[in-house]
Chains A and B, each alone.
Chain A
Amino acid sequence: MKNKIKEWLKSGQIDIFLGYKTLQGHPLPHAFGKDNLEDIDTLITGSNYYPLEKIATKLVAEKPDIKIGMITQDHSQRALNVLYIWNQLDPENIKPLKGDGCSSNLKEHADDSHREAGKSGQFKKQFGMNTHASIEEAEIFAQQERFQRWMYEFQKCIKCYGCRNICPVCFCKQCSLEHSNLIGTGSLPPEAPIYHLVRAVHMAGRCIDCGLCEEACPADIPLRLLYRKVNAIVTELFDYETGSRLDQSPFSIIGESITLKLKPIAAA
C-alpha cells in the first residue's frame, strides 16, 4: 500500500495524500506530500477516523485543480459519493485507497463502523433515548412519551455546532443553523426541537451514517439514530440509498427535468 502511494505521488497522479500518522503519541490526520517520500513509511491505518473528505473539500475550495489521494473506509466512500453528487469534489481528482479501518466486530451499533458510541447510563435509558437503540426500539414508545424522550435529549444541547462542523457532507457556505430568521441564533439552550430537526431535515439524502456527529456531541444526543431514521424515510419513500449510487438526491431541485422543460405551446 505504501509503495502504491509513493508511486502515485512520484508519477504525479496525486499531489497530496491524506492519511494518518502518529504524532506526539496520537494518531492524527496527516497530509503526505511529494517532497518527502520517506514520510509515507510512517503512515498508519487503524481504528481512528477523522473527516478527511471534509479536509479534501476545503483543499479543493482553495485550489480547485489539486489532485488528492486519501485513505478510505466504507463510510468515506459514501461520503465521497455524496460530495461528487453535490459537485464539491471532482471524481477525476480524487484517488481513494481502501484502508483496513473496518475490522471491528462491533456491528450491533453500525453496519460498517468500528467505533463504539458512548454507553447509555440508567437515567438516559429511563428518560431519554438509548444511543444504541435501533429505529424499531425507538418507535415502541407512545407518541407522547417519544416526544418527551426526544425533548429530554435535545434540551441537553449546548449548541457547539460540533455536529455540523465535523460532518463530512456539510459544506454549505451559509448554514441555516446560523440564520437568525430560521433559528434563534443567540439563545441558549437552542430552540429545541427546531434546531435539531432543521439539521435532521438537511441530512435527508445526505447523511452517510459515519457516526462522527454523535462522537463529537458533548451532550451525547443520539444524533446517529435520528439521522438514520431520516435516511430510512428517504429510502422508504423514494427508494434512494444515500451514498451508494451517484444519482441526485430526491430533494435536489436542480436538475428536476419537469421544471426545465419547454411548454408544448412554446415549442409549437
Chain B
Amino acid sequence: MECKFVPSVCSYCGTGCGVIFQVLDGKLVGTLPMKTHPVNEGKLCIKGWNLHEYVNSFLRLKYPLVKTFGRFIKVRWDEALQITADRFKEIIETHGPDSVGVLVSAKITNEENYLAQKFTRAVIGTNNVDHCARL
C-alpha cells in the first residue's frame, strides 16, 4: 500500500491556500488544509475541502467535443482547434474583434494566463479579457 501526502496550492481562486493531498495507491482520496501555510493558516473553504473530488469526477471533460446540429461530437484536438479558429475568424470578420471576450481561469498557470491575455489583445485585438479570480 502506497500512501503519500503531497503539498499543493488550491486552484479554485486567486487566494492560493495551501493544501495537502492524500494519495492512496496513486489515487487522490482526500484534501487537508496546510497549517503552516502563510495564506490560509490551516483553514479552507468548502471548495478547498473538496478539491480532490473534481480530479476523479465522472463529469470531467477529458477530450474536445464539438457541438454540431445540437449534439456533442468527440473530435481530435487538431480538428477541434481548427474549427474554433475558423469560427472565431468568421465572427471577428463579421462583427468586429470586440464581439469576442476571453475569461481565463485560476486553474491554469500564471504563464498561461499571460499568454491568454496576450492572445486576446494581440491576435484577436480586443481588451475584453478577465479572470475568474479577480477578487
Contacts and interface: CB of A to CB of B under 8 A. Distances in A.
Let me know if chains A and B touch directly in the complex, using CB atoms closer than 8 Å: yes
Interface residues of B, number: 26
Contacts of B4: 31
Interface stretch (A79-87, A142-150, A154-162, A199-207): A154-162
Interface stretch (B18-26, B66-74, B91-99): B18-26
Contacts, number: 76
A160 B50 CA distance: 10
Interface residues of A, number: 32
Interface in A22-63: 23-24, 26-31, 33, 48-51, 55, 58-59, 62-63
Given A26-B7, A26-B18, A216 B24 contact: no
B81 to A, nearest CB: 36
A162 B24 CA distance: 21
Contacts of A192: none
B1 A158 contact: no
A59 B3 contact: yes
Interface in B110-126: none
A119 to B, nearest CB: 13
A26 B19 CA distance: 11
Interface string B66-92: 000000000000000000000000000
Contacts of A226: none
B16 interface: no
A16 interface: yes
B61 interface: no
Contacts of B33: 162, 166, 216
Given A28-B34, A55-B3, A161-B46, 6 more contacts: A23-B5, A28-B7, A28-B20, A161-B49, A215-B42, A215-B43
Interface of B: 1-5, 7, 18, 20, 22, 24-25, 29-30, 32-37, 42-46, 48-49
